[in-house]
Copies of this chain bind each other. A is one copy, B any other.
Amino acid sequence: MARQTPTLEHVAKLAGVSQMTASRALNGRSGVSRETRDEVLRIASDIGYVVNRTAQKLSGGRNGIIGIITPTLDTQFSSELILGAGRAARGAGCEILVYTVFDEDRHPHHDLLGLIQQFSDGILAILPRESLCLEALSSAKVPVVVVDQRGGTLTDFPSVSVDNYGGARLAVEHLAELGHKRIAFLAGDETIEGVRDRQRGYHDTLARLGLPREDALVAAGDLSQMMAFDVTFDLLNLADPPTAIFSANDQSAFGVIAAIREAGLRVPDDISVIGFDDIPMSEQFHPALTTIRQPFQQMARSAINTLLAQIAGIGAASQRITLPAELVVRDSTGQVRTKQGGAHHQIVST
């Protein structure tokens, strides 16, 4: 069809107007008569005109692209967020482009920033970890919104995160209501602010409810399933083992459950397990995982809206949005068993 990519010039010429008028019509700006606009639009569509966003950007305008920076692509966490951001952005007529900053990166973060800026109207930074990126981002020429890190001391970027502290409270309260007293916590990566908040929530709630707080009940994980599997045995081998385990994230919870089974115990009959995140897998897992849901969609939407506002020049300089977490009760938590209680499931292995 189009032997040569159609440009604004072509559209303008065919419509018999100036490029400027065509541009205005195409971008839905004011200052164009209805008829002219319709005509331009029709022709553009006819010849399959697609605006060149590269030129758009270069000439100092907006190009309707939002850049997303993420440290990883292989965690449900990021992909859920990106998915949500994509939906929200497209809803607002924007496109998103994703740039991955690998951890291994000895990448001059300077460069990366330059690159993203050149392409987009604004940056959505998914930064669970207090990474170096923030520093680089602080000299950004386009608006930035940070997801999942309030990044207190470091920057003044608007941010969106879930109420990690409150979510942890919900988890512990749920367990307590089921009669659990010895509640263990499988900690996660300490470098992640949100994860530290969960641990604080665990501790404080235990204290408030008058439940035992012992160092031995806190196992050190790294948010990975494998690590969780390993350290769970330490918990299980305690003289007075926990009847419930609160895992810092869902992924770890899977490891916890695997370990419990490996030890010949059952979930939730012998031990209850609750996670944090509510990734898609959690619902499919057997037993379906009770967990604290992060409202990924909502977080993403909120972040995009904030960013869009910044781009438009409206919106507070530095707002911090915290969204509530939600308890999702499924099959991995249950009433605590009394020691002398009746029948037990057991595995007879010869």
A118 located at the interface, meaning its Cβ lies under 8 Å from any Cβ of chain B in the complex: yes
Closest Cβ–Cβ distance, residue A323 to chain B (whole Å): 21
Bound state CA distance, A350 and B115, in angstroms?
63
Size category of the A interface is: 35 or more
Given the known interface contacts A83-B73, A99-B98, the answer about A262 and B286 at a Cβ–Cβ threshold of 8 Å is: yes
Q: Which of B50, B280, B283, B348 contacts A111 (CB 8 A)?
A: B50
Q: Which of A33-86 contact B (CB under 8 A)?
A: 48, 50-55, 57-58, 73-74, 76, 78-80, 82-83, 86
The residues of B that contact A82 with a CB separation of less than 8 Å are 73, 100
Q: Tell me the minimal C-beta distance from A11 to chain B in angstroms.
A: 14
Which residues in window 101-137 of A have CB below 8 A to B? 102, 110-111, 114-115, 118-119
A285 to B285, CA, bound (A): 12
Contacts of A80 in B (CB 8 A): 74
Copies held by the complex? 2
Does A343 sit at the interface, judged by CB under 8 A?
yes
- When C-beta atoms are compared, the residue in chain B nearest to A1 turns out to be B139
Task: Judge whether A114 and B73 touch: CB under 8 Å.
Answer: no
CA distance A255 to B74 in the complex (A): 20
Select which of B95, B115, B258, B346 is within 8 A of A50 by beta carbon. B115
* Nearest-Cβ distance from residue A340 to partner chain B, whole angstroms: 15
Can you give 24 A-B contacts (C-beta < 8 A)?
A: A50-B110, A50-B111, A52-B118, A53-B115, A53-B118, A53-B119, A54-B118, A73-B78, A73-B79, A73-B83, A73-B98, A74-B280, A79-B79, A82-B100, A96-B99, A96-B100, A97-B97, A224-B284, A225-B284, A226-B284, A229-B284, A345-B348, A345-B350, A347-B348
